[in-house]
Structures are given as structure tokens and as C-alpha cells.
Amino acid sequence: MNNKKLFAEGVLKSMGYYSRSFLAFFLLSLLLNVINGQPLVPALFIFGDSVVDVGNNNHQITVIKANFPPYGRDYENHDPTGRFCNGKLATDFTAEVLGFTSSPPAYLNLNTKGNNLLNGANFASASSGYYEPTAKLYNTIPLSQQLEYYKECQNKLVEAAGKSNASSIISDAIYLVSAGTSDFVQNYYINPLLNKFYTIDQFSDTILQSYSDFIQRLHSLGARRIGVTSLPPIGCLPGAITLFGFQSNECVASLNSDAINFNEKLNTTSRNLKNMLPGLNLVIFDIYQPLYNLVTKPSENGFFEARKACCGTGLIETSILCNRNSIGTCANASEYVFWDSFHPSEAANKLLADSLVAAGISLIS
């Protein structure tokens, strides 16, 4: 009952509903569809970048890692799992609300991949993106390889649960995809081989073609319930302001405009995919507006600082630059919107998860 109630209340709070009769109706609907305290869906599979990576990069020869302090200092047992955060990610909170006792494990962390995969897996890799060369720049795991791991995972599911049960898990699971930010911030904006030869619109169109190809491949592998995050307000990330803000402390308007334009195209592309692919339930999670609200109105949302991140000076530190010797790291990350200069704090992730839950109702109905 606790997970069902948490889910319902989270949805209602996020959507602005407080009617007791509506809450009763919603809880009754959940009770009719959820049996014996099982999760609302059989499994959760996650693909993407550092916003959702829970440790796959621990096994890569790359500097893009977070498996050392102070990362994870507010996580269970103060464990630096590889999450780019002081604690839980938005997807960790989402998994809890869906009724899972733990988040989907990092696929590459699993020594035994049988029954451990029955509730899903996480294939995400920090610095990955829809644009294949982005991951190659940092020797991380591109989405094409993440799909190959997922195909391997499907075979392991058949071995562990049988073909029929595995088929049900695959078709009824929720698939979450978070990518795109690295393509811009860690590639296009800093790579003259791209930004001198492609306009931002041309590059966006290239990314969207890769996005379309990825969704079609995922659909061909049996995925039917897919949630995809939009680009965040990339011009408001502390690291982006430091790099591209020309000594300003304000969000970089041009970068935010790029994100808004991309998100509009993402919505159009996604509508076309839904019309083209049979049985596809594809939802775009708007991360842009919720995070923009936190950055521009921090005190209204319970935060003290939105320009600087908690780790180090808060202006540029991420990955290996955010370490136990980083000077100036804050004592209470819950007062900060950002943990490092590119990633939200656990406190911000909790609020972003509320938005994910509200937008994702159609994926579980």
C-alpha cells in the first residue's frame, strides 16, 4: 500500500490535484490493477547519459566517472556508486514510486545476469548521446552498444523466466531514455569540426534522425511503453554559464533557445513515430520547464543556491574535477539545485521525479 499511496499522492501533487474523492478513485484504480504489492509495471529499462547512469561507466577506461567521493556522500551507506549526484537520481525516485524495492541495476555491474534482470536494467553511460561520435570522444558507451547490451539482456531474461514470461516483461515494461545534452554541451559547442560546418539546426536534425532510428530499433525489440526526456535548460547549467556565459551569472539565452527549438522538433518527431509504429506509447517528459523553474526561482522551491553547484567552487567541477579535495564543497547539498556543475542534486532530482511521474501516467494506464 505504501508504494501505491506514494505514487498516487506524487501524481496528484505534481498535477495540482488535492480532491479527496479524486484521490480515493485513483487509489481504487491502482488497487484493481496492482496485485499482491507488485510494482505497477513488471520492469524498468533505462538508456542514456550521465543523468541516469548508475555505474556503467565504472567499467570504462574513461575520465567520465563518478565512483569516488564526494559523489554518493548522501546515498545509502555514503556509497559512490557511479551516479553523478550526491544521492539519488530522478529515476531512482521514479522506480520507488512505481513500486520497485530498488532501482534497475547497472547492467555492467552485474556478475550474475539471470534473475537479477527480471525487474529491468540500466544501460546508461555518462557522456553518451544520440550522436554516436559523442560517446566515442570520451570512450563511453554509445546508444547503439546500449541496445546491444539490451538484446543480450533479453536472451538472459528468456533463460531465467522462459520465453512467454520474458515476452510479457519486455512488452509491458517501461523504457526510459535520457540523452542529447552531451551532444550539445560536450561536443557541438566545443568542437570546431562540428560547429564550423553545421548550423545548430542542421546538428539538431542530425541528432533527431539518430533519435528516430533508436526508437525504431527499440520498438523492433519489443518495447511499447517509452518515456523520453527533453533537453533541460542547458544554458542554466553552472558549467555552461562558466564556459559560454562570458563572465555573466545569468543563464545563457542562446543555449536555452537551442534547447527549446530542439524540444519542439523532438515533440514533432515523436508524434510522427507514434503514428508510424504500431502499438507504440511514446511520452516526452518535459524536463526543461521544471528545472528552469528551480533555477530561476530557487527560494520558492526551497533552495538557497542555483548559480553555483555544491561541489568545489561550483562553477566548473564535474567528474574527476569534483573530488574529495575539491575546495569549497558545500556542507548541505539539499540547499543547492546542482550537485556538480552539470548535474542536479538529490533534492532537485526528487522534484524533477514528481514531474516525471505526473507526465508518465499514460505509460502505466
CATH assignment of the domain containing 87: 3.40.50.1110
DSSP state of 305: B
Cell of 355: 514531474
pLDDT score at 38: 80
pLDDT score at 205: 98
Query: For residue 4, is it within any domain?
Result: no
Peptide bond preceding 70 in cis form (omega within 30 of 0): yes
Query: For residue 244, is it within any domain?
Result: yes
pLDDT score at 170: 97
- CA nearest neighbour of 117 among 76, 169, 58, 49: 169
pLDDT score at 192: 95
Question: Do 265 and 204 contact (CB within 8 A), yes or no?
Answer: yes
Number of Cβ atoms within 10 Å of the Cβ of 77:
6
Query: For residue 24, is it within any domain?
Result: no
Query: For residue 304, is it within any domain?
Result: yes
Give the count of domains, the chain.
1
pLDDT score at 36: 54
Cell numbers 496485485 correspond to what residue? 35
Distance of CA 91 to the CA centre of its chain: 6
Query: For residue 132, is it within any domain?
Result: yes
Q: Which residues of the chain have pLDDT under 50?
A: 1, 4-5, 8, 11-12, 14-29, 31-35
Please tell me the distance from the alpha carbon of residue 126 to that of residue 1, in angstroms, as a whole number: 35
Query: For residue 18, is it within any domain?
Result: no
pLDDT score at 246: 85
Please tell me the distance from the alpha carbon of residue 207 to that of residue 266, in angstroms, as a whole number: 10
pLDDT score at 6: 54
User: Domain range spanning residue 269?
Assistant: 38-363
pLDDT score at 7: 52
CA distances from 23 to 20, 38, 365 (A): 5, 20, 16
Cell numbers 538529490 correspond to what residue? 346
So which residues are the catalytic ones?
A: 50, 340, 343
Query: For residue 179, is it within any domain?
Result: yes
pLDDT score at 357: 85
Cell of 156: 538472459
Query: For residue 350, is it within any domain?
Result: yes
Q: Is residue 159 within a helix (H) or strand (E), and if so which, with residue range?
A: helix 143-161
